[in-house]
Amino acid sequence: MLYLAIIITYFMNRKIAVVWLCTIITFSAVVILVEIAPIVEAPTIIYVDDEPGEGPGNPKENYTSIQDAINASSDGDTVFVYNGTYYENVVVNKTINLTGEDRNKTIIDGGAKDSTVVITVTWVNLTGFMITGSGISWGIAGIGLSNVQNVRIFENNISYNNYHGIFIYQSQHSNITNNIILSNEGYGISMESSSNIKITNNYFIQDGIEIFGYELSHYNSHDIPIDNMVNGIPLHYYKNCKDIDIDGIITGQLILANCSNVQLRNSKINNTDIGIGILYSTNVTLINNNLDSNHEFGIFLSRSSNSLVMCNNVSNNGESGIGLGHSSYNNITGNYVFDNNDGITLGGGSNNYIIDNNITRSGNGIRLGSSSNNNIIKGNNLSETGIYFIGVSNNYVIKNRIRSGGYGLSLYVSPDNKIIGNDVSFCGSDGLRLGLDSMGNIILNNNICSNGNDGIYVIEPNNHIENNNISSNIRYGIFIESTSNNYITGNTITNNNYGLRIQKSSNNHIYHNNIIDNTNQAYDMGTNFWNDTYPSGGNYWSDYTGIDLNSTAAQNVPPPDGIGDTPYTDILGGSGAQDYYPLMHPYINGTILFYGWNLISIPLIQSNTNLGMVLNSIEGSYDAVQWYNVSDNFDPWKHNSTKKPFHLNDLENIYHTNGFWIHITEPDGIFFEFDGSRPIRNQTIALHPGWNIAGYPSLSSYNRTYGLNNLTFGDHVDAIWTYDSGTQKWEKMGESDYFKIGRGYYIHAKTKCEWEVPL
C-alpha cells in the first residue's frame, strides 16, 4: 500500500510518467536485493531539473546542475535529467547511468568551451540527451571518452558541436547505438587507438566516422560501423589501422589511409564523392559491397598494394567504377561493374591482376594509362564497352570477351603488349586498333569477328599479328597504313569486305595466312612481302586457281609440294604485289595450352596416332591425358598418366576426331604446334545419344549453324559446351558463337547421328 500511495502522489505531478517508471525500477531493485542480499543498499536515483520547484518530493532534493548531481552520486546510481537546457561541461567520473528525459528536449550545451560531456570511467550508460556546443580543439567533442571501456552511448542527439560529435581515445569494448549525429563541424565519430567499438544503427547527417590507430588482432564481425543510416555526404575515415573486419551496411564514404589487413564486406555506399578510398594501404580486402551513384569513383586505390577487390557490385559512378592510381600487386576479380563513366581504370602501377570481371556500358570498360605496365587483364566479360590503353607497355590481355563496344581494344603510345586469346566481336568500330606509337605488340590467337569497321587496324611498325581468326568485319579484316615491318602470319581471314588492305606501307611480311571468301581478298599500295621463302611458302587463297604438279623454288620439277606452281596475282592496288608460293591447302599452326586442364582436339590427320607421338612437341610439359569413349558402356573414360606405370594406362591413341583433356604442367603454358596432314574433305564424327566429347577436324572457324553443317541444332543436338582453359570457365555455345580450331567440344545428341564437320 505504501508504494501504491507513492505512485498516486507522483501521478499528481506534471512529470508523472518518468517518476512512475523510476519508482517501479526502484521497487523492483529493492525486492531483488531483499531476496538475494538484504544488507546491500539499492542504487539511488538522483534528479536534475532546471525548474526545481516542480520536481518530485521536497524541491530541495532536486539538483539544477547535472555536474552537481554526478558529484553527489555513487557508483551504480542513476542521474535522471528532466527536459530543459543545461549550460555546462559535464565530467562523468562515476560508474552511473546518466539519463535524459527526451533526446530532443533535454539539452546539454557546452558553451563552446570544452567537450560538452566527458566520460572518464568504465561502465557508464549515457542516453536521452541532445548534446551540443562543444569547443574547438583536438580531442574536444560533444561526447569524449578517454581510457575507458564498456561505455554505452545510445538514443542521443549529438548535433551542432564545433568539432567532433563523439571522440574516443584509447578505449575499448563500448557501444554507440541508435544516435542521431547531425551537422558537427568535425566528424560525427572520431576514434584513436581504440578497439572493439561497436557503432550500430546511428543516423548520420553530413557527418561520418574517422578512426586512427585502430589495431585489432581477432576482430569479430558486426563490431564497427554497421548498418548506419546516412543523409548527406558523410565520411568514414580510418588511418594507421590494421586487422579490422567490417561486415555490414555502411552508407557513408569510407577512406582507409596507411592501413593494413582490413576487410570490408557486405556494405552499401552510395551518393558520395568516392565510395571507398584506399590510400597508402596494404592487404585490404573488399568483398560483396555495393557501390552505387558516387560522384567520382566507386572504389579507388591510391599507392596501395596486395589488396583484393572481389565480387562487388559497382554501378553508376561518375568517373570510374574501380580506379587504381600508382598501385601495384592488387587483384581485381569477379566484380560486376556497369553503367559507370569508365569501368576499371589503372593510372600508374604494375603487376595488378584484373580477372573475371563483368563490365557493361562504360565509356572504357578497362582503361590503362600513365605507365601502367606489367599488368594482367584476363577472362573479363565486357559488353557495350572495350579496353583502352594509352602510354603503357608490357601488359597481358588474355582471354577476354568483348562485345558491342565502340572500339574493342585500342592502344595508343603503348608498345610491347601481349594480346592473346581474346574474343572481340560486334563492336561498332574496329575490333583492335594499334594506334600512334604502339609498336612491338604481339597479337596472338584472338577471335576478331563481325565488327563495324576493321578487324585490326595498324599504323605503327614491328607488331606481330599471328594465328588470329579475323572474319565478317564490315570493312577490312586487317588494315595496315603508313608503316612497315609488321608480321602477319598464321591468321584465318574470312568473309570481310577486304581481307587485307595495306596502304602507303613497305616491308611488311604476310605469309601462312588463310585468306578465304573475302569480297576482295587483298589490296596493296606499297612494297610488301606476301610470302616466306621456299619451302615455307606463302598464304592460302580460297580463289587461287593454279595447280600443284611441281616443287623446288622455281616450281618446275615434280613431284607436287603443296605449293602452287604459279604465283597468286589477284592482289589489288596496282603495286604488282604477288604471292609467289601460294599454299594449296589452308595453313594450320597450333594453339596455346594453359597451365592446368585443357579441352582440345587436333585438326590434322595423324599418320601415327600413338599418344606419345601425337604429343611429341610438348613432351615433358603435361602429366595426364584423358578421353571419353561414348561407345564403351562399361568403362568410357580412358586415361594416360605419366605418373603411372605404362601398363596401368588404357589410353594409347589419339585421333583427329577426338576431343580430349590434357593437363599442362608449365606454369606459363606452352604453344602446341599441330602436326599431320590436312584433311582434303569433310571429316565425319559419330555422335551417340547423350553427351559426346568430339574434336573439331576443320581448317576453318564456323558459327554454330554452319559448323554443324548437316545437323540441325534442336533436332539432332540440343547443347554444345566447351571449356576455356585461359579463363577456366565453361562456355555454352550460342547461335552466333564460333567453333574454334583446336578446341574440344561436349555435344549432347538427341539421337544417333553422324556429324560431317565442314572443311
- pLDDT score at 258: 85
**Coil, helix or strand at residue 233:** coil
- What is the rounded CA–CA span in Å between residue 430 and residue 419? 15
- pLDDT score at 212: 66
- What is the rounded CA–CA span in Å between residue 40 and residue 307? 57
User: Order of strands, edge to edge, in the sheet holding 106-109?
Assistant: 84-87, 106-109, 130-132, 157-159, 180-182, 203-205, 229-231
- pLDDT score at 53: 62
SS3 sequence of 547-598: CCCCECCCCCECCCCCECCCCECCCECCCCCCECCCECCCCCCEEEECCEEE
Residue 326 cell numbers, joined? 600508382
- pLDDT score at 422: 93
Residues lower than pLDDT 70 in the chain = 1-41, 52-61, 206, 212-237, 248-252
**Coil, helix or strand at residue 1:** coil
- pLDDT score at 249: 60
Query: Domain residue spans in the chain?
Result: 43-264, 589-759
CA angle, 409 then 415 then 419, to 5°: 40
- pLDDT score at 138: 76
- pLDDT score at 274: 87
Q: 540 pairs with which residues across the strands?
A: 514, 583
- What is the rounded CA–CA span in Å between residue 41 and residue 21? 20
- pLDDT score at 32: 33
Tens of pLDDT, residues 496-535: 999 999 999 999 999 999 999 999 999 999 999 999 988 7
CB atoms within 10 A of CB 76: 15
